[in-house]
Chains A and B, each alone.
Chain A
Amino acid sequence: MTDLLRRLVRTPQGAIGLLLLLVLAAVCLFGPWLAPQDPEKIDFLGRFRPAGAENWFGADQLGRDVLSRLLVGARSTIPMALAATLLGTVIGSVVGTASAYLGGRWDEAIMRTIDAVMAVPGLLLALLLVSTLGNGATNAMVAIAVAFAPGMARVTRSVALNVRNQDYVKAAIVRGERGSWIVFREMLPNVMAPVVIETTIRVSFAVMLFATLSFLGLGAQPPASEWGLMVADARQYVHQAPWILIAPSIAIAVTAIAFNLLGDGLRDAMNPRNER
């Protein structure tokens, strides 16, 4: 594990991605304590105050400190995206591995159905699910997880099929190993690496999707300072105070970039050929 970390830091993408994510993790954990002001404190005198000594990133339409809202809002954005991706990965990996293991007609039927489900654009599927389950952050998370599952199933299956055809798995079959040994000891450790990489990159999509649902009014609900919601609120005040819009936009982008960079870094670091 420490070995992996060392190799990760050696790749430029991995180093930058990890650094950004450490900062984001700190913000998620300690946001309320780091925030210079109370994010809900309304200050009518300070409405649309530009960035300066009092409000580092400026103040919004109610005079609330934008930086404080961002720092606190990280909690309602990033963990949700992370949870949605993990849930989607677990569902997808189970289906994908099962499909690869069953093989034959079952595999064909499962994969054709997954292809068909993937014909529904991810955002549309999430929208349909949220409108059924009801608005709210938790429901949005579940919807994103379900929307991600088919894609993860595809990835896992193709990796698992590839691993299944390796001679060391054949050797285990020839030895007469039990199915559980083959799946968990021979296949899974080798399937894990590409799936972890794919998952990491997908967190960035989840962050964006979650913010989009909130932006459309179906995800996190006011007065939460979720970043997508902040952008939605800020749109009508673009003329007076562009910073209330730009700050959360950049926060979303930085998070997405961080996970993308980490994913690319992991891809290099997890390549077993580089393990020397």
Chain B
Amino acid sequence: MTTPVLSIRNYTLDYLTAGGPVRVLQDIALDIAPGEVLGLVGESGSGKSSLAWAIMRHLPKNAREVSGDIRLGDTDLRALPGRDLTRVRGRRIGMVFQDPSTSLNPTLPVGRQITETLVITRGLSQAEAWTEALALLGHVELRNPEALMKRYPHEISGGEKQRILIATAFGCRPELIVFDEPTTALDVITGARILELFTRLRAETGVAALYISHDLALVSRVADRVAVMKHGKLVEEAPADRIFRAPQHPETQILVDAVPRPERRLVHDQPGERVLLAAQDISVRYARRRLFRPAPPPATQAVGFNVRAGEILGVVGESGSGKSSIARALTGLADFSGSIRFDGRPIAAGRAMDRQYRRAVQIVFQHPDSSLNPRQKVGEILARPLRLFGGNVSDVGRLLEQVRLPASFADRWPHQLSGGQKQRVAIARAFAAKPSLVICDEITAPLDVSVQASIIELLLTLRAETGTAYLFITHDLNLIRQIAHRIAVMRGGELVDLLPIDAIDAEHVHPYTRDLIAASPTPVG
């Protein structure tokens, strides 16, 4: 057998905290063979990022390496003195980060940021580095590299930035490249293109790679082997196609089950015929014209749709597509032109919305951290809608149990809860009003897949109990295909498609919808 490019043995790592040392990595052992892609999957806090920092020798100050070896080829990285590190980083191990918009220095033209790296790592002259950079940018399908090199990071798109960073990493011709969630910060379609690029460059160069992600479906498509981490331990390591078909470890099983699969429907009933909410020609415009400054274009343009009683209507689109503006208009947070009818009754816009409508239509926001007032206890937060909408304040305990939280949580402060628990409280707050429609605005986006799956399960149970309709806003097409009755696709403020779920694969769908489906990775096997 050939020498592995990267070899980690019995690696254990602690972080020193005020409460004593905390173990973040326990007895990690893994190898990456030349030309191999190892996918590393785990939820937040599993230790996958710490492992990347350990390999890059960039651990935080409070890290204590307890034991183990990290070898790059024949080099013992742990024994390497600080001044020799610069000769390994970039030259022998490259890295591509999660967020391309923060990984480039905002005040330097991108060209200089590529050439300075090539000059240092490959010993090229400035002129050679410039020519090489042009070639590299052309090779990652960036148009007009000459002009691009002179631009500043804020003048180019996120996808272009990530291409530049990937081009730079490959251009240094390292033995190994660490990819840390390189598509997570990007839109679905852009991310898919980046992934194609990764696959092509990898095949051409044969560089070994460690691909870190929280997305098991995605990793199983790009990696040769997949390693699953949980609580600082490697729980399973297997060829990519076997991880999905035959997960061995229970933790892997949980992760595999939590991955949304469009073909596995979670909702089997049909909504009623009664139209609950009818929205017509909704357009939202935020800023007005100011002195010497033209007004920006509207966030949405004349969007219209119905929601039927008990229906789950999915709204998908990328960031800036106007899908959240719809939620803001329907809840009176943004003024709009157009009309809303609820139960056949016309509804006024903005602050003039009446109490009956406000009770019947509730919203759950995306960020669990900001949706609960940090200076109110859970009990107070839940009591308020009960008092306002004619409920019984003693129902707080029952509400908490309804969202599978202990009634004793009423005495807790929001910061004492985890992200998933906070989101449950926010859901309980919405259901306190006994609504007939709940708007869910990207509520699962910041959560781990297993938490996400349990939140979805909770929403479906609540719907079964109360018959509530959902307007479910998300960018995750696979998730929404599991639960929605109909799907609305938005782009650039326009509604491009409104389809029943079984028509989503049909011939006549909008090309953009087709692109979105193609860009959403489904698990192999």
Question: Which residues of A does B touch, CB under 8 Å?
Answer: 166-168, 170-171, 173-177, 186, 189-190, 272-273, 275-276
- Is A177 a contact of B374 with CB atoms below 8 Å? no
Q: How far is the CB of A175 from chain B (nearest CB, A)?
A: 6
Q: How far is the CB of A1 from chain B (nearest CB, A)?
A: 13
Closest to B330 in A: A174
- Is B358 a contact of A171 with CB atoms below 8 Å? no
- Is B415 a contact of A273 with CB atoms below 8 Å? yes
CB < 8 Å neighbour of A175 from B370, B371, B376, B388: B388
* Complexed CA–CA distance, A189 and B380 (Å): 14
**Binary per-residue interface labels of chain B (358-388) against chain A in the complex, 1 for a CB within 8 Å, 0 otherwise:** 1000110111001111111000010011001
* Complexed CA–CA distance, A176 and B353 (Å): 8
- Is A272 a contact of B331 with CB atoms below 8 Å? no
Given known contacts A167-B365, A168-B370, A171-B363, A176 and B375 CB-to-CB distance under 8 angstroms: no
Closest to B381 in A: A168
Closest to B384 in A: A175
- Is B332 a contact of A174 with CB atoms below 8 Å? yes
CB < 8 Å neighbour of B363 from A174, A176, A177, A189: A174
- Is A177 a contact of B375 with CB atoms below 8 Å? no
Given known contacts A171-B365, A175-B385, A176-B388, A186 and B333 CB-to-CB distance under 8 angstroms: no
> Given the complex, which residues of A lie within 8 Å of B433, measured CB to CB?
175
- Is B333 a contact of A276 with CB atoms below 8 Å? no
- Is B371 a contact of A168 with CB atoms below 8 Å? yes
Question: Which residues of B does A touch, CB under 8 Å?
Answer: 331-333, 351, 353, 355, 358, 362-363, 365-367, 370-376, 381, 384-385, 388, 413, 415-416, 426, 429, 433
> Given the complex, which residues of B lie within 8 Å of A186, measured CB to CB?
373
Among all A-B residue pairs, the 4 with the closest Cβ atoms: A167-B371, A167-B365, A189-B375, A168-B373
- Is B358 a contact of A175 with CB atoms below 8 Å? yes
Q: How far is the CB of A44 from chain B (nearest CB, A)?
A: 61
- Is A167 a contact of B358 with CB atoms below 8 Å? no
CB < 8 Å neighbour of B415 from A167, A189, A272: A272
> Given the complex, which residues of B lie within 8 Å of A174, measured CB to CB?
331-333, 358, 362-363
Give 20 CB contacts A-B under 8 Å.
A166-B371, A166-B373, A167-B370, A168-B372, A168-B373, A170-B333, A171-B363, A171-B429, A173-B332, A173-B351, A175-B384, A175-B433, A176-B353, A176-B358, A189-B375, A189-B376, A272-B374, A272-B413, A273-B415, A276-B415
Known contacts A171-B365, A171-B426; 7 further A-B pairs (Cβ under 8 A)? A167-B370, A168-B370, A168-B372, A173-B333, A177-B388, A189-B376, A276-B416
* Complexed CA–CA distance, A167 and B433 (Å): 18
Closest to A186 in B: B373
> Given the complex, which residues of A lie within 8 Å of B333, measured CB to CB?
170, 173-174
- Is A176 a contact of B371 with CB atoms below 8 Å? no
> Given the complex, which residues of B lie within 8 Å of A175, measured CB to CB?
358, 384-385, 388, 433
* Complexed CA–CA distance, A275 and B365 (Å): 24
> Given the complex, which residues of B lie within 8 Å of A173, measured CB to CB?
332-333, 351
> Given the complex, which residues of A lie within 8 Å of B375, measured CB to CB?
189-190, 272
Residue from B355, B375, B384 with most neighbouring chain A CB atoms (10 Å): B375
Closest to B374 in A: A272
> Given the complex, which residues of A lie within 8 Å of B358, measured CB to CB?
174-176
> Given the complex, which residues of A lie within 8 Å of B374, measured CB to CB?
190, 272
> Given the complex, which residues of A lie within 8 Å of B429, measured CB to CB?
171
* Complexed CA–CA distance, A171 and B425 (Å): 13
Closest to A174 in B: B331
> Given the complex, which residues of B lie within 8 Å of A167, measured CB to CB?
365-367, 370-371
